[in-house]
Structure 1
C-alpha cells in the first residue's frame, strides 16, 4: 500500500476536473450558439449541464475520500509513534516488555507481554483522566463536572482490577509478582497492588479541613481496611506454609529414579492445586481496594475526593520516578 503524507497535493485532480468542465462548457456553448432555437439542442444542452453537475459532485466526493484517507494514515502514524514512545518509557522504568525480536514462550511470556501492554494502556488513559481532573479543579469547575471525572477515574480503577482478575485466572503467581510495574513499585506491593490502608494514611495532610464526622469515618475505614488486609495476609501465609509442608513431606526423588516418581508427581499436583487458590486471595484484595476507594468517595466532599485522587496519582508517579532514578543511579 502506498503511503500518502498529510501534505499530499490534490491540485492535479482539481485541474483535471476544471479542464473537463471547461471542455464540456465549450461544447455546450457551441451547441447552443449554432442553433439556439432548436429544441433538440436545448435537450442536449440540459444533458450536458446535468453531466457537469454530476462530474462536480463526483469530484467533490473523490476529494473528500482522499482527504479522509490521508487523515486516517496520519492518525495511524501518530498512534504508532505514541505507542513506541510509551513502550520505550516503560522499558526505561523497568517494566517487562520484550522487544519484537525476543523469543517468547507460547504461554507465560506472551501473558507477561499482554499484562505489560494492558498496564501501559491503562496508565496512559489514567494519566489523561488525572490531567483533566487537575485542570478542572484549577479552573474551579462545578461539582457536577468534577463528580463526572471522579466517577470515571474510580470506574477506571475498577477496570484495572477486572484485568487483574482475568490475568489471575491464567497465572495467579505472575499477577502476585506484578512484573509489569517498576522495581520500586514492586517493593511496596501488597497482593499485586497497593495497600488500601496505606493510601488512607497519606491522604490525611491533603484533605484538610475535615469535619469530626469525616475524620471518624476515615479512621473507621482505615481500621476496617487494615483488618481485612491482615486477614488476607494471614490466609496467604497459611497457604504458603501448607505448600512448604507438602513439598517437604515424603521421601526424596533422586534424578533417574523411578521408584518415587508417582509420589513426587502427586505432591506437585497437590502443591499446584494449593497455589491455584491464590486467585481467590487476589480477587478479594482487589475488591477491598475498589470498595475502599468507593467508600472514601462517599465520606469526602466532591472537591476533597478530587484532591484525594490527585494525591494518590502523584504518590504513584513519585514511586515510578524514584524507580527510574534507582535504575540510573551510579554504581561502583
Structure 2
C-alpha cells in the first residue's frame, strides 16, 4: 500500500480514512497470520527434533509433522486471500483513474522485485573456502 499511496494522486479525506483503516486491518491480520505461522514452525521443528521421532513412533511423528505442514499451507492460502481482499477493497475506494495508477504502480513494483530476485539468483557464488582463483 505504501508503494501505491506514493503514485495515486488527489485522494479525498474519505479515501485517506478508508485506506488508513484498511492498512490497520491488513496489518492486524498479517500479524495474526505471522504469529500463527511462527507457532506452527516452532511446533514442527520440535516435532521433527523430538527424540521419539527417531525411535519407535517414527510414523506417528511424521504424520503429525505432515499435518503441521498442511496447516502452514493453509496459512499461506489465507495470506493470498488477504492480498486479494485488500486489492478488492482498495479498488472499491478509488476512482477508475486512481485504481489504474495504483495497479500500474503495484505491477511495476513486482516487476522490479522479480528483476532483483533474478539478479540475486544468478549472482556468482563462492564456496566457503573463499573467492575462486583468477
TM bucket (normalised to shorter chain) is: 0.7 to 0.9
Query: What SS does structure 2 have at the residue aligned with 1:203?
Result: helix
Query: Match of 1:248?
Result: 49
CA offset at residue 326 of structure 1?
A: 3.6
The structure-2 alpha-carbon separation of the partners of 1:271 and 1:220, relative to structure 1 and needing over 3 Å to count, comes to same
Give a deviation string over 1:150-204, Cα, whole Å, max 9, x none: xxxxxxxxxxxxxxxxxxxxxxxxxxxxxxxxxxxxxxxxxxxxxxxxxx11111
The one of 19, 25, 39 aligned to 1:224: 25
Match of 1:238 in 2: 39
Residues 280 and 321 of structure 1: CA distance in aligned 2, closer, same or farther (over 3 Å):
closer
Match of 1:288 in 2: 82
> Following TM superposition, by how much is the alpha carbon of 1:265 offset from its aligned partner in structure 2, in angstroms?
2.0
Question: With structure 1 as the length reference, what TM-score do the two structures score?
Answer: 0.35
Deviations 1:98-147 (A, max 9, x none): xxxxxxxxxxxxxxxxxxxxxxxxxxxxxxxxxxxxxxxxxxxxxxxxxx
Structure 2: which 5+ runs fail to align? 126-130
Equivalent residue, structure 2, for 1:208:
9
> In structure 2, what is the Cα distance between the partners aligned to 1:204 and 1:252?
50
**Distance in 1 (alpha carbons) for counterparts of 2:29 and 2:109:** 23
Q: In structure 1, how many angstroms separate the alpha carbons of the residues matched to 2:112 and 2:13?
A: 31
After TM superposition, the runs of 4+ consecutive aligned structure 1 residues lying more than 4 A away are 327-332
Does 1 or 2 have the higher relative contact order (CA < 8 Å, sep 6+)? 2
Please list the CA deviations of residues 237-292 of structure 1 after superposition, one character each: whole Å capped at 9, or x if unmatched.
Answer: 11112112222334473xxxxxx3x3122211111122111232122112111110
- Counterpart of 1:323? 117
Matches within 5 A, 1:24-173: none
- Whole-angstrom CA distance in 1 between matches of 2:70 and 2:53: 24
Question: If you compute each CA radius of gyration, which structure gives the higher value, 1 or 2?
Answer: 1
Distance 1:330 1:243, change over 3 A: closer
| Structure number having the greater helix percentage | 2
How many residues are aligned here? 126
